Amino acid sequence: MSVSRIVFTSLNYVGWGALDNLLPEVERFSPKKILVVTDPALEKIGLVQRVTNPLVERGYDVEIYTDVVPEPPLETGEKLVSFTREGKFDLIIGVGGGSAMDLAKLAAVLAVHEGKVGDYLNLTGTRNIEKKGLPKILIPTTSGTGSEVTNISVLSLDTTKDVVTHDYLLADVAIVDPQLTVSVPPRVTAATGIDALTHAVEAYVSVNASPTSDGLALQAIRLIARSLRKAVENGTDKQARIDMSNGSYLAGLAFFNAGVAGVHALAYPLGGQFHIPHGESNAVLRSYVMGY
Ligand SMILES: NC(=O)c1ccc[n+]([C@@H]2O[C@H](COP(=O)([O-])OP(=O)(O)OC[C@H]3O[C@@H](n4cnc5c(N)ncnc54)[C@H](O)[C@@H]3O)[C@@H](O)[C@H]2O)c1
Ligand SMILES: [Fe+2]
């Protein structure tokens, strides 16, 4: 009988209205200067302000960094890490899809390390992560990557992708509020939903699957299967958005603890080289890999 190593984030709030827990959680860290990492589209539609307004009204010093692009290249990570080191922040909040959250957790940890982000990449890096870094709160606005509960930060390189991984990249607090996903357009809802479904299916068939990850994966598959089409067809369907948020969160916990497989391995070059959104790369490859 084998032993499974199971790792969860330390504190998660999940459900409609979960964002109300942000202010009390921020107060726990008594931060002097907060950095919010997000993408420009979310600031434009006022979603970021829903997160930051209560903090600003309480008197916190909040800086918003919006220089995030989808499927972020290594250079975007290098720029943000330099900015974070210079800014003397003591709490990082990542708000967005996987792209913003991956960069936020990377910046929180590498803010207290030396060298370049490239030095810490899994495949080609030469340095090890040794310190926990700044506290971080992650708030997903897509139902897809599960990045809020994984220790992974994905970066696009010239022809593929690579990752920085360490348990220090795990969020101190994850806040998964489906209200924040209502504005996701249908195409992004579909792509990110397929990403979440692929996490759950690949975790379930993984050689490293365990009874814990199987439970998480199966419940994720149930929720996503009943609600992905509904969320794409009608973004204001509250129950569908709730199911998708729960589904992507559970799928994130499942694949983080069991691993992913062929679809993700083949999706990396498509995302890195051709900048195809991660969920769409998974979608085109899924049936071929599953068939094989
Ligand atoms: N860390 C992990 O465990 C993990 C797992 C899977 C994928 N990833 C990575 O995550 C990235 C992809 O993340 P993603 O699929 O969430 O997409 P994304 O973060 O790139 O966002 C996609 C688009 O959706 C928009 N968007 C996000 N939330 C919105 C909202 N609420 N309303 C309107 N528009 C919204 C963004 O502005 C962007 O244009 C890739 O780099 C991928 O490799 C990471
Ligand atoms: Fe994925």
CB 258 within 8 A of CB 210: yes
Structure confidence by residue, pLDDT tens digits, 178-204: 999 999 999 999 999 999 999 999 999
Please identify which residue in the block is written with the tokens 């290098």: 78
The architecture (CATH level 2) of 12-180 comes to 3-Layer(aba) Sandwich (3.40)
CB 147 within 8 A of CB 192: no
Three-class SS string for 182-245? CCCCHHHHHHHHHHHHHHHHHHHCCCCCCHHHHHHHHHHHHHHHHHHHHHHHCCCCHHHHHHHH
Q: What are phi and psi of 184, to 5 degrees?
A: -65, 125
What's the confidence (pLDDT) of residue 1?
58
CA of residue 131 to ligand 2 center, whole Å: 26
Give the ligand 1 atom nearest the CA of 188.
24
Domain positions in the chain are 12-180, 181-291
What's the confidence (pLDDT) of residue 68?
96
Dist CA 27 CA 200 (whole Å): 34
Tokens of 48: 């970021």
Please identify which residue in the block is written with the tokens 């989808």: 70
CA of residue 96 to ligand 1 center, whole Å: 7
Sequence-distant (6+) residues with CB within 8 A of 30 are none
The CATH number of 181-291, from 1.10.3720.10, 3.90.640.10, 1.20.1090.10, 3.40.50.150, is 1.20.1090.10
Q: Whose CA is nearest to atom 30 of ligand 1?
A: 184
Give the ligand 1 atom nearest the CA of 252.
3
Percent of the chain with pLDDT over 70: 100
Structure confidence by residue, pLDDT tens digits, 58-100: 999 999 999 999 999 999 999 999 999 999 999 999 999 999 9
Pairing of strands 173-176, 12-14: parallel
Residues in the chain predicted with pLDDT less than 50, given as ranges, are none
CA of residue 173 to ligand 1 center, whole Å: 19
CA of residue 77 to ligand 1 center, whole Å: 15
